[in-house]
Amino acid sequence: MCGIVGLIQTNKPVDEHHVLLMRDSLTHRGPDSSGLYMDASRHAALAHRRLSIIDLSDFAAQPMTNEDRTLWIVYNGEVYNFPSLRNELERAGHRFQSNSDTEVILHAYEEWGTQCLQRLNGMFAFAIYDSRNQILFIGRDRLGIKPLYYHFKTGVFAFASELKALLIHPEIPADIDETAVYDYLTYHYIPAPKSVYKHIYKLPPASYLIFQQNKVRVESYWDLTYQPRMISSVDALQEVYRHVQNSVRGHLLSDVLPGVFLSGGIDSSAVSFFASQFQAAIDSFCADFDQKEKSEAIYAQTVADHLKTRHHTLLLTKNMFNRQLYEQYITLFDEPFADASGIPLFLVSQYARGHVKMALSGDGGDEVFAGYGKTYEKWFRTANRNSFQDLIGRAIFPLTQSLSSSLRGQPWLQYVCGDLFYRTSYIFGSTTGPRKHILLGSALKGFQKEYDDLWFFRQHWHSDMEPLHRILYLDMKTNLPDRMLVKADRSTMAASLELRVPLLDHNLVQAIFHLPPNIIYPEGRQKFLLRETLKNHLPESILKRPKKGFSIPLNEWMQNNSGEIERLFAGSVGVEMGWFNPAIRDINAFSHKHRLMGHSLWAMIVLENFFQKTYSGQHRASD
């Protein structure tokens, strides 16, 4: 796992100093070593920070080149099937100097070109520069586990693992994209391919990019296909067991000792069970909370005792959740990102890093196995709403237009009156247009009537799919890569810890997606396949326990620090720039009047923090 940077300047030579600063801003992603390549003309550079996991020797250092030194690669991630690919490439005549997966990707590109992506099984973001033909090829994994940002304008192309590295370059502008801010208020994250900056983009999952002759081309190379097949429950369970077992075995491939994150939930318990089959006395890590009603440590300990792992528990106390921690967490993302649930992962990652460099987790289990119980239950109720209920909703809708914007913006009212797509978007947590109208200042209201708030959800909405597959697909194309996996990547890499997610092996994901709805989610039984697969391998108390997310004291912190929040908004840069409604300066009165609370209030705190850190100096200097 690493941090990667690249820069091509066709208008003038690359400044090595800038590249080194960009590279070393990602030291947390790769503290073990670093490398730099610049071509003979000094118009192209690749840079790398290394976290050594596979082949710890200098032979695996990056940037890495091929035999004739015409191809150079920088790479972040892991390819779990690289031993079999290496054997195939050796039979084709390729020779290797290292035992790394990096070199396998390089030779795979030599052999198969861009089609090499179809053969890679793993999480990755890599760039290969062909110095002979002056072509840059960038690929990102299918599910979007590893990040890749890029910037392009005439004469300058740059890419990096995180936004912060690109912002160091003096020729990359940091102009805010108003539509991205608006999208953030809708989704509480900024969906790909946008970033918060107008001139910096995210390479979407399952995509590759070609930069040649001062032109950028982005192509998709994979999608989740919908082809349900007839299969018995018994055969499906055997298939799921085999896929998960094979995935966990592959994800354990490493030259350092692995660990597992074990919360006691079904996903992490499943990964821990299979990992313990192949790794004796594996280290497991759990975050606990000092409030008894929030503690789940007993479940994690039950699984740890059953599997005989070396179990470690980090106790999180209320006083740890202070302003310093929240602000530190906010800055991990380099752009507005409102999911604070990664804070426990951030803390336990720092703790685990004292024992291991790499850990497996159960991330992705909810999205793959239909595990969001209440969300899915609510969705099926609305999907099966009868025509009379729809008729009532359509009849009510015109009447709502005479209400005040505050009442008209209430999500429940939009939910009652909206169609199935709109109701689905509401369930997934989007903020309605009228609701945003309350929050916004004049600078953001100009395009609101013409702008499609839900373009991202609409892009991945397939009405031709079965209802269950429709929502699984939407979840895996939106919420998973742009929220869940972003949270996981930043929270762990900030601690220089590699996180692997075996439940997101694309072969497993596709196999589940081919199963009929009555086998994936029979009678609303969430994670039926995973629970049934493991019923003879895990304690019954674990298999039957309801899903319970790790709850952080966010609301309590906001209540206890209302004075600090008041001061934050009293001098609001968002208001000064015309982004926010001026009334938000009195945040307590505004929150009470418009019922701005919980995660909605947190989202505004995050956005105001972002403005104050990145925008206020520029604005006030020009006054």
Residue 424 pLDDT: 79
Nearest Cα neighbor of 419 from 447, 450, 448, 457 is 457
Residue 530 has pLDDT above 50, yes or no: yes
Predicted confidence band of residue 623 (pLDDT cuts 50, 70, 90): very low
Q: What is the mean pLDDT of the chain?
A: 90
Rg (CA), the chain: 25
The arithmetic mean of pLDDT across residues 5-27, rounded, is 96
Percent of the chain whose predicted confidence (pLDDT) is above 70: 89
Residue 415 has pLDDT above 80, yes or no: no
User: Residue 381 belongs to what H/E stretch?
Assistant: helix 373-383
Residue 290 has pLDDT above 90, yes or no: no
Tallying the residues shown for the chain, one arrives at 623
Predicted confidence band of residue 473 (pLDDT cuts 50, 70, 90): very high
The arithmetic mean of pLDDT across residues 454-477, rounded, is 92
Q: Which of 236-240, 369-373, 462-466 has the lowest average pLDDT?
A: 369-373
Percent of the chain whose predicted confidence (pLDDT) is above 90: 72
Residue 301 pLDDT: 96
Locate 544 and state its tokens. 């039957």
Residue 81 has pLDDT above 50, yes or no: yes
pLDDT in tens, 193-246: 999 999 999 999 999 999 999 999 999 999 999 988 899 999 999 999 999 999
User: What span, in angstroms and rounded, lies between the C-alpha atoms of 400 and 408?
Assistant: 6
pLDDT in tens, 307-335: 999 999 999 988 888 889 999 999 999 99
Nearest Cα neighbor of 196 from 21, 331, 337, 7 is 337
The arithmetic mean of pLDDT across residues 88-106, rounded, is 97
CB 334 within 8 A of CB 168: no
Residue 408 pLDDT: 46
The arithmetic mean of pLDDT across residues 393-415, rounded, is 52
Residue 393 has pLDDT above 70, yes or no: no
CB 432 within 8 A of CB 422: no
Residue 619 pLDDT: 37
Q: Which of 30-44, 337-351, 386-400, 512-526 has the lowest average pLDDT?
A: 386-400
Residue 135 pLDDT: 97
More confident position, 70 or 557: 70
Q: Which residues form the catalytic set?
A: 2
Residue 385 has pLDDT above 70, yes or no: no
Residue 40 has pLDDT above 70, yes or no: yes
Residue 378 has pLDDT above 70, yes or no: no
User: What span, in angstroms and rounded, lies between the C-alpha atoms of 471 and 453?
Assistant: 19
Q: What is the dihedral of CA 243, 260, 344, 430, to 10 degrees?
A: -10
Positive or negative torsion for Cα 54, 55, 57, 60: negative
Please report the DSSP string for 166-232 in residue order. Answer: HHTSTTS---B-HHHHHHHHHHSS--TTB-SBTTEEEPPTTEEEEEETTEEEEEE------------
Residue 405 has pLDDT above 90, yes or no: no
Residue 388 pLDDT: 45
Angle between helices 82-91 and 101-112 (to 10 degrees): 50
pTM of the model: 0.93
